[in-house]
């Protein structure tokens, strides 16, 4: 488990890992900030709302609240608030589930679906711009390196089908 071995390069590797993590974090924050601002200015919405709509757009029949929060890897209570606001805006609706009065199914309205497709198109273009300094080869290479990282849930080797995130279709 990556014990503090007595090899002389332990220190260096650890520092390199730290450096990589800090870069990763800076880059992600910068891109996120950019996307957040554009979503606000051009669509008067937020990144969390966009993420929720993206998840719902991949499931035309809707998702239960708990499925949604698992997909987005955020807490249960968090989704409640975001969905409530999306419902107010008319982009999402809640539908009772037959035979289980505890659960509800949430899905995009027709208007929500249309709105999401507008946003997703812009979003893809923005991301393409932000990463434009990477060549196709570099992008591909980086994608492969990321496969080695703890991207998916770590200590759970039994996830049914992680499903591709975002609006990738």
Sign of CA dihedral 10, 16, 19, 25: negative
Binding of a second copy at residue 41 (CB under 8 A)? Answer: no
Identify residues 54-93 at the interface with DNA (CB under 7 A): 64-67, 73-85
Binding of DNA at residue 120 (CB under 7 A)? Answer: no
Least CB distance from residue 41 to a second copy, whole Å?
16
- Taking the least distance from each CB to a second copy, the nearer of 22 and 97 is 22
Left if phi > 0, otherwise alpha if psi is -120 to 50, otherwise beta: which for 18? alpha
Range list of β-strands (E), the chain: 63-64, 92-96, 104-108
DSSP string, 50-72: HHHHHHHHT-TT-EEHHHHHHHH
Q: Which of 31, 65, 107, 122 binds a second copy (CB under 8 A)?
A: 31
Q: Which of 148, 156, 160, 161 binds a second copy (CB under 8 A)?
A: 148
Given the structure tokens 């990321």, which residue do they identify?
146
User: Contact positions toward a second copy, by CB under 8 A?
Assistant: 1-2, 4, 9, 12-33, 73, 124-125, 127-134, 136, 138-143, 145-146, 148-154, 164-168
């Amino acid at each position: 488990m990556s014990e503090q071995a007595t090899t002389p390069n332990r220190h260096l590797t650890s520092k390199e890992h730290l450096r990589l993590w800090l870069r990763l974090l800076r880059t992600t924050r910068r891109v996120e900030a950019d996307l957040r601002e554009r979503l606000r200015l051009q669509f008067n919405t937020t990144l969390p709302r966009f993420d929720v709509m993206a998840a719902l757009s991949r499931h035309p029949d809707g998702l239960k609240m708990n499925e949604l929060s698992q997909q987005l890897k955020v807490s249960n209570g968090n989704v409640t608030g975001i969905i409530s606001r999306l419902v107010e805006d008319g982009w999402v609706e809640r539908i009772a589930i037959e035979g289980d009065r505890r659960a509800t199914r949430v899905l995009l309205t027709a208007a929500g679906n249309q709105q999401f497709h507008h946003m997703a198109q812009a979003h893809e273009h923005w991301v393409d711009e932000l990463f434009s300094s990477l060549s196709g080869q570099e992008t591909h290479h980086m994608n492969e390196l990321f496969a080695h990282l703890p991207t998916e849930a770590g200590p759970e080797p039994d996830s049914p089908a992680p499903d591709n995130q975002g609006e990738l279709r």
